[in-house]
């Protein structure tokens, strides 16, 4: 079972964030944004609690299909992918490829993206890699995102919420 979502558009510009000082952050003005945008395709393997991501220039069906091929290469068994109702996920080409490659797309209801477990992981990714940043280019941003995902995949067990053993002890 895989949860999937796109994150973006991402652009190269100074981002506001939080810091320990009381004064607000000072960020340089950006009048020209000539570096374009990127979109991050992110998947979460629910069984292994592991994230995978690729940065793409667009959210088109061909880009989505390329990411599906990457995910397919990681798993041998049938894959169920939970995702939103974006039109690029529902093209004839994507549906046919998924059918041939034993992948079932499970769409969340419209306006219910919060049902997809990957959403909370994207919030953390944004907080630790995008907020309070001023990357020079997409290569530098991509490096920071890969570094965060690598750290998260190694350390997720330390930060998981543990189940309460005693149901009657609420404190």
pLDDT at 26: 61
- CATH code of the domain made up of 2-16+35-157: 3.30.420.10
Q: Which residue ranges make up each domain of the chain?
A: 2-16+35-157
d(CA 50, CA 13): 29
State the average pLDDT for the chain.
83
Q: What are phi and psi of 19, to 5 degrees?
A: -150, 175
Are 53 and 158 contacting, i.e. CB atoms less than 8 angstroms apart?
Answer: no
pTM: 0.79
The C-alpha angle 26, 13, 84, rounded to 5 degrees, equals 120
Q: pLDDT category, 163, cuts 50, 70, 90?
A: very low
55 token code pair: 């940065």
């Amino acid at each position: 079972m895989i949860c999937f979502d796109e994150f973006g558009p991402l652009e190269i510009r100074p981002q506001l964030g939080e810091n320990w000082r009381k004064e607000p952050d000072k960020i340089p003005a950006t009048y020209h944004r000539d570096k374009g945008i990127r979109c991050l395709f992110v998947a979460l393997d629910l069984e292994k609690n592991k994230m995978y991501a690729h940065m793409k220039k667009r959210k088109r069906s061909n880009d989505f299909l390329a990411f599906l091929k990457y995910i397919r290469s990681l798993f041998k068994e049938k894959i169920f992918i939970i995702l939103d109702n974006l039109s690029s996920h529902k093209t004839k080409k994507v549906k046919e490829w998924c059918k041939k490659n034993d992948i079932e797309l499970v769409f969340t209801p419209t306006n219910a993206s919060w049902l997809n477990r990957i959403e909370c992981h994207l919030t953390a990714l944004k907080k630790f890699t995008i907020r309070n940043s001023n990357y020079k280019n997409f290569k530098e941003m991509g490096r920071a995102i890969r570094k965060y995902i690598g750290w998260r995949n190694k350390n997720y067990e330390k930060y998981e919420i543990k189940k309460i053993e005693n149901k009657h002890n609420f404190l």
